[in-house]
Structure 1
Amino acid sequence: MVSAQLYLDRSANSPLIIDLETQGEVRINSALDLVLDHASRWQTFSYTGDYVLSRCIGNERKKEVFPILEDLNLEGYRYNIERSDLACFEHAPRLRAVRTDFFKRSCSELPWTQLTSLDVGVYEAEDIYLLQQCPSLTVLKLRNYQWSTLGPISSASLESFTFVCPKERREEHLLENVFCCFTFPSLAKLVIYSEDSSTTNLIWPLDAFSAFISRSSCALTTLSLSSVVISDVNLIAALRLVPSLTNLFLDGLEDPEGRSPLTSHFISSMQGSSPTHLVPKLCSLSIKFKGTSFDDVAFINMVSSRWTPDRTHAAAIGIDCLRSLVLHFLDREVDEDVYRPLWHLDEMGMRVVITSKK
């Protein structure tokens, strides 16, 4: 406490980044009370714990103003953050980013209209309509959402959407409900993954994804899929829907039979010499391959066919140059001799990283 007080005194009027964790009950003269005396200097405030913040930021502190607060992170240990905790930060004119495990439609205390980034857990389906009070959002991350047939809910400014499937969810139509719920005309980045790397609860819904892309009319540039159940045919079909894609990340995918969808058929469809180019603007490809059966030769040929550093040649054949490749084998080793051609591409300018299990 003495060193913390000394730091706060010596830092004068400099903006503060506060990262505070507590366990159990916290006394009013604790570290929490100490940093509250400098609330006007908070630029970032992160709190993890079960103490009710409104016990301190209330009563005589009721009209507390956070004039330079930009980032707010509130999460509980055993219990969710309470509504009264969010209400403590009602007067934060520069608040732009919020992460919290409390997100209720009836919660009107935060300045939702000015937020540009939101990372929340949603426990009641109707609470998602609170997003309609966030017209400035460009980044959204949803966790623990209890999906039902809602929407479509539109966010015209949203550029990045991440959906995290929690460990306990085992709902077959989870992703289908996600895609049916939203319309994001400005979406450029889509990230989907599971907290526990389970594939049984993230089944890819091609028709719902197609409808989402059509309804949104967005130009997706980054797609990241982790622990998703999808066939090679559906993966190819999904990528055909997003010709604007420049960055593709595939991690631990499985088909319905438990095999990898990164088959010889999928790899051949990615060939730069293919008459109908798949993701013609692709510049960065990152793969974590689950399984042992992988067509190394076809993959090397595909990557080589996308190395088109000469812009005139690239324009003539209709694909952009692949500039970065990251390949990690989760269940097998790398044959250095087989992959020698890709090391040559690395020497020529492509970023090539190929690794395997330890």
Structure 2
Amino acid sequence: MNPANQPADVIANLSNSALRVRLAEIDSEIEKLQARVHHALDAIIYPILSLPVEITSEIFKQHLIQFFGSPSEADVLPFVDLARARDGGPLLLSHVCRAWRSIALNMPSLWSRVRVSSSETDPSDWQELLQCWLARAGNQSLDLDLTGGLDQNQTARLFSTVAPYSFQWRSFQCYWTNPVSIPNEIIRGRIPCLYELRLWIKRDDVGPGKPEIPIITAFSDAPALRKVELSYLAPKSVSLPWAQLTHLDLYGQAIDQAIQVLHQTPNLERLSTDLRTGRALHGVQPTPVVLGHVHELSLSNVFDNVTKYLPYFTVPGLKTLNVDSIFYDGHLNAAALLSMLTRSRCSLETVSMLCIYDFAITALAAMDKVRQVDLQPADWSSSRLAQFFSRLASDSKFLPNIRSLRIWNCGAIIPYTELVRMLAARFYNRRADEGKLESFHLIRDSGEVDPIPSAEVEDQLRGLRNAGLDIHIKRLNKRKLKISYQDFD
């Protein structure tokens, strides 16, 4: 009789040697049973594991985009925030199973964009995780975002972790809560691939009575550097290869210092500057600058300082102008802007504006070569929107060459009568020397619910679409007491 199958009362009378024999037999049976179970599990093919590696890799990328991304990063792998790294992203994917771990560890792009964003947690808590992250990126170019608000000690400790990988840096962003200097010697001369740099400090740390910020020289030798953004950090506080830059964003700068550094950027193609926070001129007036290669100019937070900045700019090659947040004297600010454009003698083609009605009408009336207009109306009423459409319909000299009109983040109820009249006038009734509207997009996102268009309006819109005009209207529609979006088809 098999000792393993003997009754309990019999077992109790077995000798020690007999009990050891039984235990050995039970262990053997357990091992055989485990082997059979593992064999059965290995024979199961889970559908997700049968996918080609290329498809699984794409699923991983889409997971990162959905978990860490934003609408502006719809087609780009986003930064992975280490503060959330255990909740989603490549770290979580690599712990699902052996197959997924192998795929994740063999996708260096998943580990190549990393952000340290918490200002409340000591970066040393993440040093081990950050080191693991950077190692798994392999030879991939790195995008680093240290935006947690770092003091001098934290900055030094994080730099000691990321500095060994400086030869792979493609972009680098850093924000300080105090005006301290980067440990310059750690990376200077060791960033051959750095293409984009963003440096920010707190606004409260600059200005009269504040300590002088030590000059940052860490990025002075960066042969691939082309894009730079400085926020409240004066250009004089950073040693950079200004002459090779093609993109420059300046926020919170004194006007004289901003103009001074622009004289050192002969190859600049895109300039963005914040006109609200720029501090006024003191002492000697700066020498006006001609930005010969700038084809795109962005003026953000435009308030009363627009009349202080723009007289110093001449942009003869300007093609694209982006302006937002003009809420004060629309005619005055428009005059300052148009004076700059007249002086530049540029052929403006694309205009994007977040603006009040007076500014839009005044500025656009002088832009006779513009082909594309993007408007974000600032507190436009439905009647103002109707006036704008009526001007386009009745005045052939107002934006005579417009081909594309996009109105987004609109809060005003759509005036359908004026809209269809404008579309018909700009699509059908055009002379050979006038532009013909090819695209019209109107995106509602707030405000009162739109009325349902009449059958006549819908027929007219449908006829225009069938004739070739690209029309996309997203209106606010009330259904079952809930506001939802509805596209016009």
Shift of 1:24: 4.8
Among 309, 312, 332, the alignment partner of 1:181 is 312
The answer (yes or no) to whether the contact 1:43–1:69 under 8 Å persists in 2 is yes
Q: What is the rounded CA distance, in whole Å, between the counterparts of 2:178 and 2:469 in structure 1? A: 53
C-alpha displacement of 1:45: 0.7
RMSD: 3.3
Letter in 2 for 1:40: F
- Aligned position for 1:306: 426
In structure 2, the partner of 1:239 is 364
Further displaced range: 141-150 or 179-188: 141-150
Q: Which residue of 2 aligns with 1:279?
A: 400
Q: Percent identity?
A: 19
1:22 aligns with one of 144, 148, 163:
148
Question: TM-score scaled to structure 1, two decimals?
Answer: 0.79
Count of matched residue positions in the alignment of Structure 1 and Structure 2 = 336
CA deviation vs aligned residue, 1:174-200 (integer Å, no higher than 9, x gap): 333343232111111212223xxx824
Partner of residue 323, structure 2: 192
Change (3 A) 1:157 1:125: same
Distance 1:86 1:202, change over 3 A: farther
In structure 2, runs of 5+ residues without a counterpart are 1-126, 207-211, 478-482, 484-489
Query: In structure 1, what is the equivalent of residue 160 of structure 2?
Result: 33
Measure, in 2, the Cα distance between the counterparts of 1:181 and 1:317.
Answer: 35
Q: Larger radius of gyration, structure 1 or 2?
A: 2
Contact preservation (8 Å) 1:236, 1:269: no
Letter in 1 for 2:447: D
Offset at residue 284 of structure 1 (A): 3.1
Between structures 1 and 2, the one with greater helix share: 2
Tell me: higher relative CO, structure 1 or 2? Use CA pairs within 8 A at least 6 residues apart.
1
1:295-353 per-residue CA deviation (whole Å, 9 max, x = no partner) reads 43112210233235xxxx96636222322322426433222324523355446551412
Contact 1:50 1:78 in 2 (8 A): no
Q: Secondary structure at the match of 2:263?
A: helix
2:463 and 2:216 mapped to 1: Cα distance? 55
Deviation of 1:218 (Å): 0.8
User: Which residue in 1 is equivalent to 2:240?
Assistant: 110
Contact 2:231–2:253 under 8 Å retained in 1: no
- Residues 151 and 182, structure 1, Cα contact 8 Å, conserved in 2: no
For residues 52 and 175 of structure 1, the distance between their equivalents in structure 2, rounded to whole angstroms, comes to: 28
Q: Does 1:269 align with 2:384?
A: no
Provide the C-alpha distance between the structure 2 equivalents of 1:77 and 1:207, rounded to a whole number of angstroms: 33
Q: Does 2:280 match 1:155? A: no
How has the CA–CA distance of structure 1 residues 324 and 32 changed in structure 2, closer, same or farther, with 3 Å as cutoff?
A: farther
TM-score, normalisation: structure 2: 0.60
Counterparts of 1:288 and 1:96, CA distance in 2: 32
What amino acid does structure 1 have at the position aligned with 2:401? P
Name stretches of at least 5 consecutive residues in structure 1 with no aligned partner.
Answer: none
- Equivalences for 1:125-136 in 2 at 5 Å? 125-128=255-258, 129-136=260-267
Deviation at 1:108, TM superposition (A): 6.5
Contact kept in structure 2, 1:174 and 1:203, CA below 8 Å:
no
Alignment pair present for 1:324 and 2:431: no
1:180-237 Cα shifts (integer Å, max 9, x gaps):
232111111212223xxx8247665343333222111111112122143x43xx6444
Residues 1:213 and 2:329 aligned together: no
1:250 to 375, 384, 387: 375
